[in-house]
């Protein structure tokens, strides 16, 4: 057995505390973010409206490429958001789904869909994806997030500021572009498994 008794005891304590925290979040959500609150519906609109827009606006001839890029944005943004929340650098006083450790509306819809639409516009109009991606990062970090902060939809702690949020967006943008380009390269240069050039 790899797990020692001491490790098992400490895991039990962590899991017990985790259950308490989830219960506290559920109670908090009922009191401040439930169906009968304005923030619930504002955040729900940030989840639903972008998904409706992308359904009608996505270039279906490039849907896989655009979707893959957007999924990269979604994945990396969700990871970074979860880390920021767990370390107390970012927190969201209002939630749509209280048991998720991130702002689901932003991570799964609003942010990736915005980046997807910018990406689509760039590849369809032969524009620089990185340049317009940076402008999108500027929009989110220095305009959208400060407005959310002023309205208490996001709070920053432990030294976090909007410039650091910008750097985070920039890092995510770079990773999404690089990974998408690698897979596009693989698609254009197929190599059969087990054979070398």
pLDDT at 190: 87
Q: pTM for the full model?
A: 0.91
Q: Residue 115: CB partners within 8 Å, gap ≥ 6?
A: 69, 70, 73, 133, 136, 173, 176
pLDDT at 193: 60
Segments of the chain scoring below 70 in pLDDT: 101, 193-197
List the beta bridge partners of residue 90. 156
Distance, CA of 115 to CA of 28 (rounded, Å): 32
DSSP the chain: --S-HHHHHHHHHHHHHHHHHHHHHHHHHHHHTSTTSHHHHHHHHHHHHHHHHHHHHS-GGGHHHHHHHHHHHHHHHHHHHHHHHHTTSEE-S--SSTTSSS-HHIIIIIHHHHHHHHHHHHHHTT--HHHHHHHHHHHIIIIIHHHHHHTTS-EE-TT--HHHHHHHHHHHHHHHHHHHHHHHHHHHS---TT---
């Amino acid at each position: 057995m790899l797990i020692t008794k001491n490790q098992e005891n400490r895991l039990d304590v962590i899991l017990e505390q985790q259950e308490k925290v989830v219960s506290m979040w559920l109670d908090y959500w009922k009191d401040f973010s439930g169906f009968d609150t304005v923030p619930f519906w504002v955040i729900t609109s940030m989840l639903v409206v972008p998904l409706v827009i992308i359904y009608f606006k996505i270039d279906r001839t490039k849907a896989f490429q655009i979707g893959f890029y957007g999924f990269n944005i979604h994945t990396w943004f969700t990871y970074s958001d979860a880390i920021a929340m767990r370390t107390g650098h970012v927190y969201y006083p209002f939630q749509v789904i209280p048991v998720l450790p991130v702002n689901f509306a932003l991570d799964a819809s609003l942010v990736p869909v915005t980046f997807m639409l910018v990406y689509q516009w760039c590849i369809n109009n032969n524009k620089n994806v990185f340049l317009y991606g940076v402008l999108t990062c500027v929009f989110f970090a220095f305009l959208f997030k400060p407005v959310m902060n002023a309205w208490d939809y996001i709070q920053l702690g432990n030294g976090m500021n909007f410039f650091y949020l910008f750097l985070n967006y920039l890092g995510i943008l770079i990773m999404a572009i690089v990974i998408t380009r690698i897979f596009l390269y693989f698609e254009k240069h197929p190599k059969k498994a087990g054979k070398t050039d």
